[in-house]
Amino acid sequence: MARWRRAIELAMTEEEIDRLRTVTRSRTEPARRVERARMLLTYGETQSYYAVGRSLGMHHQTVERCVERALANGPLAALDDRPHPGKEPTITPEARAWLTSLACDKAKEHGYPHELWTTRLLARHAREHGPAAGHSCLARLVQGTVCKILAKEEIKPHKVRYYLENRDAEFERKMAEVLCVYREVAVLKKASAKSRRRRKPVAVVCCDEKPGIQAIATTAPDLPPEPGVHASFARDHEYKRHGTLSLLAGIDLLTGKVHALVRDRHRSREFIELLRHLDAAYPKGTAIKLILDNHSAHISKETTAWLDSRPAGRFAFTFTPKHGSWLNLIEGFFSKFARSVLRHIRVTSKHELKERIMAGIQEVNRHPVIHTWSYKLAEAA
């Protein structure tokens, strides 16, 4: 015969009642806490497990357990779950260390055609080779567990983060030379702002090439945006290639003017053509200082022979160090030009691409922007 359940008096202070009511009105509290707070408040009014169960739609034994916990630990403490012992970890620390060490290798080093691990491949390899390595607990390892272990160790073997290796033993010295040129530009700007007279005519130009600009044509006309239909231009996936062009350009750091040529290639003869263009653009007696990288066309025999034919002091080259092309301000111009003029460009021929590139250069020169270098400029000697 079942025992008779007597109602238990649950005494709660006004503060506890207010806290329970706050929990029942909360939209961020877990549902189990809100449910238990309602049980305790309703029981405080009715003093009946059955009545509370019927009104809240739950079993009376659930109400009884909640009330008993409130009597033992307090109404507020009864809202939380009791601590559970949990399941003992089946993967040993040694196995975790072995798996972490394995993740730090490349997949190809273990006989796979993959360059890097995927979590699925890593889990399969651990299941197949873990027991033989003395970690039998990995025999049933799943991909989700691998993700948790790697996340705890803050390892992402399926991703690549690029870095730039310093391959120039004289990187600091060469960088200082480039920064000295930028420092000279800053001094010239201040001097020209104070006085219109310039002691010695000097032009500082950052030069480089942007090769591989693709002349791509559409095979179907683009569809313009239509209100309520589609917000962007629609373009057919199929396209036709007409070849590539190279943009050779130099930007004057004192005036912001861009000197540019568009050619099929960027060999020594094309670079010499750019130098001739610069030679004709500036008056005689102006010292033209160029900042450029170590491309073969910049240091070839043909380029050196042409420079020797010019008056002494007409051209002066300052080379950026290896892996230091970011020191050249022209790179920023190329990036902006690619994101504005060349972005999504479609043409019918290489000739049209050349004309549109030169039109873009002319547009830039209509409203020239004087670029200023500031990074580590104060450290320049």
Digit-coded pLDDT (tens) for 178-194: 999 999 998 888 887 67
* pLDDT tens track for 71-111: 888 888 888 888 777 777 789 999 999 999 999 999 999 99
Helices marked H in the chain: 14-25, 31-46, 49-56, 60-73, 93-103, 119-129, 143-152, 171-194, 268-281, 301-308, 330-340, 350-366
Please report, for the chain, the start and end positions of each structural domain, with discontinuous segments joined by +.
14-79, 93-152, 171-223+235-379
Q: How does residue 45 score in pLDDT terms, banded at 50, 70 and 90?
A: confident
pLDDT greater than 60 at residue 5: no
* pLDDT tens track for 254-274: 999 999 999 999 999 999 999
Question: DSSP states of 310-375 as a string?
Answer: SPTTSEEEEEPPTT-GGG-THHHHHHHHHHHTSTT---SSHHHHHHHHHHHHHHHHHS-------T
Average pLDDT, integer, range 317-327:
91
What is this structure's pTM?
A: 0.68
Give residue 82's pLDDT: 80
Q: What fold does the segment set 171-223+235-379 form as a domain?
A: Nucleotidyltransferase; domain 5 (3.30.420)
Whole-angstrom Cα distance, residue 320 to residue 289?
Answer: 13
Give residue 199's pLDDT: 60
Q: How does residue 209 score in pLDDT terms, banded at 50, 70 and 90?
A: very high
Give residue 1's pLDDT: 42
pLDDT greater than 70 at residue 338: yes
Whole-angstrom Cα distance, residue 207 to residue 141?
Answer: 56
Coil, helix or strand at residue 41: helix
The residue ranking higher by pLDDT, 380 or 58, is 58
Q: Which residues touch 27 (CB under 8 Å, ≥6 apart)?
A: none
Could you identify the residue written with the tokens 């030009």? 337
Q: How does residue 329 score in pLDDT terms, banded at 50, 70 and 90?
A: very high
Coil, helix or strand at residue 288: strand
Nearest to 203 by CA among 282, 306, 260: 282
Could you identify the residue written with the tokens 């309703």? 42
* Token pair listed for 347: 């043409």
